[in-house]
Structure 1
């Protein structure tokens, strides 16, 4: 039993586990039933408690006064933890919204919040629909086969979010590559190198790019999100250089990469569940619930970490002040107590209380935009799709934070 428990808990400290779905879900199912709060002590990471039940994850997210994002918002190696802390103490490093706690988090979040409110998104919807048609047309042009991730799913949300920021189109490929290197540090295909220094150099490249952008937008403000960030203020003072550059990084990376993962994961689910694709063809009104199911199914953000601000417990397990928990969103989104037949892909699933956008004060800033992009793309694609099948094995990225399909080879015909 101990060996089985240890092996199951070890998936959270193994980036390759997220590229092996059978192993991952078997381990998470076992932990939910037998050890829903599991202690994990595996190098090169510092110890943590993996929280695998939906209700516990929500309760921790809800109590942000007790459970803090700082100093360990995501799972990284002990060496990376130390390097990040040293950089921040020296006045540099990365400090995005996911690193911050209230009240500072709320004030910084407000700088970009208006760009993701319903009115702003309604104004953007026509453009998103145009882009969806462009990329479905591109599928038709390059068919009858393509790698849906590399040819379509990457580019559509990348174009949307970087256009919203106001970046020039010639810089989009650079942003895509840097995003792959940042989130793909554990993946042999995506990472820049194997050393911590090489990984940190990716961040420095981001900061160099966005430092120039900040200077430009402060000198000549424009009507875009980049200008809003560059000229944002907290308590009457301009954002620090670190907070400004970090704001750009989180919007420019998570703002498209997570949507790419949900789009490609959603299409794969439809290909592998043709009965559900047929349901969508027969009843296009299901597109809203289908999108939520695609997001639950793929869960692009695998985890966030929280650190106890004082001694407490989770499901009877004592956790001391300063100890950390790993919020296993992928597991919470397959919790048998919340979802009927959680390992069944159901485009009509309702209700669907998935955790893929987080919960509480850190609920994803761009959730409504991601949903709109997915509705737009699949509303355009599905009526035009005459046939579709896999043209090779899907390939998932190794990760402990953000990730999904790297390659989805498909064979298809479009009207």
Structure 2
């Protein structure tokens, strides 16, 4: 069957809707991206997008479908193709830089089966709740310090740039073993890695073009490598109780991990370990501002903080997508998915599916049930989810009792990015101390 015949029997997503979903700019505007997702859920919950710059992709927008794919790692693979959506030109650049491979990062999200288990096992126990809990006092010290700094700003600030970006960054740097004085370089490289599409955040010196995102990603990765090379060598000589020491000295079949896998592990933990948490934290505060009755509810009962954290993560959904590739012909929602077809798991859409969440666009801190998919599910459930929840719980246990009021003094702005996106700026005025 030729491609035109195939397209005629497939649910083909209208081009205007498809372009919204694959454009980083859309994720900076809730009034653009969420109506597109709503249209897809209602009219074409599993539709195929054909755009000249991209491989054909299935847009998966319903909660149950995203869950089914996530739980079936044998059928829907991460390692066959790029787990991130890129243009064909960016994928080709990645292959050129990676000796023919399409993998742009040797992290767990890009791995399948035995390889995934081998590398997940290195840190899996370290990230378990009972072991993470041993760092609670240290995290609380960082939270208290950060909240003190927040109130020292004088009642007005940019909640994102002056506060939310730094607390989770300091936590993850402390646990990984990165010196506090390198805070600025870690933040800069994280933003450049994840926000290559955003004109305010993208890496300088990278010419714009159809492969610009991949070129910026590669350049940032090489700078990360240069940074971690020295720390790794030092920890091999003088191990400490931190993640760099754990990974740098780990053996697989009696051999040290190769440099690419080792350094990419650091990069994945160091970047995702704070970027997504700051997104959820700042987004949760925006939710409290836009829904002041929820602020009053949390103020009256700080015991609701865990539910507030869960709702903040659902409502913001920091990671917007991951790709999967079908390893065989399979039926999904009555539609034949062919072997090697690519599927885009649209997490923000799944997390606002009205068949799963009542009044899904509202911010409701005591929402029940609230089994969101922001951390994924199945084999690729986020390794750091327990740390992220602990980070946020402690932060708001320290912040909310001291915060009497908070309001916007300008229009919040969001990062333009299809992979991870959240608030870029949020000017606020607040009282408390």
Q: How many residues align?
A: 414
Equivalences for residues 326-405 of structure 1 within 5 A: 326-405=344-423
1:11 has 2:20 as partner: yes
1:103 has 2:114 as partner: yes
Moved over 6 A (4+): none
Q: Distance in 1 between matches of 2:13 and 2:342?
A: 23
Q: Distance in 1 between matches of 2:135 and 2:40?
A: 43
Q: Distance in 1 between matches of 2:138 and 2:329?
A: 50
CA deviations over 1:173-217 (Å, ceiling 9, x no partner): 101100000001000000013334344211110111122222222
1:74 has 2:84 as partner: yes
- Report the CA distance between 1:4 and its aligned residue: 8.4
Q: Residue 174 of structure 1 aligns with which residue?
A: 185
- Report the CA distance between 1:110 and its aligned residue: 1.1
1:84 has 2:94 as partner: yes
Contact 1:13 1:42 in 2 (8 A): no
Q: Distance in 2 between matches of 1:47 and 1:139?
A: 47
Q: Residue 146 of structure 1 aligns with which residue?
A: 157
Runs of 5+ consecutive residues of structure 1 not aligned to the other structure: none
Contact 1:111 1:232 in 2 (8 A): yes
SS at match of 2:42: helix
1:260 has 2:250 as partner: no
Q: Residue 136 of structure 1 aligns with which residue?
A: 147
Q: Residue 309 of structure 1 aligns with which residue?
A: 327
CA deviations over 1:245-291 (Å, ceiling 9, x no partner): 11011001000000010000000110111000001111222111111
Contact 2:189 2:224 in 1 (8 A): yes
- Report the CA distance between 1:235 and its aligned residue: 3.0
Contact 2:196 2:216 in 1 (8 A): no
CA deviations over 1:350-383 (Å, ceiling 9, x no partner): 1101000011111111101111111111111111
TM-score (norm: length of structure 1): 0.96
SS at match of 2:198: coil
Q: Distance in 2 between matches of 1:95 and 1:43?
A: 28
Runs of 5+ consecutive residues of structure 2 not aligned to the other structure: 1-10
Equivalences for residues 217-228 of structure 1 within 5 A: 217-228=235-246
SS at match of 1:32: helix
SS at match of 1:306: strand
Q: Distance in 2 between matches of 1:360 and 1:160?
A: 27
Q: 1:241 to 1:396 in 2, by over 3 A?
A: same
- Report the CA distance between 1:236 and its aligned residue: 3.0
Q: Distance in 2 between matches of 1:198 and 1:185?
A: 6
Q: Distance in 2 between matches of 1:3 and 1:208?
A: 45
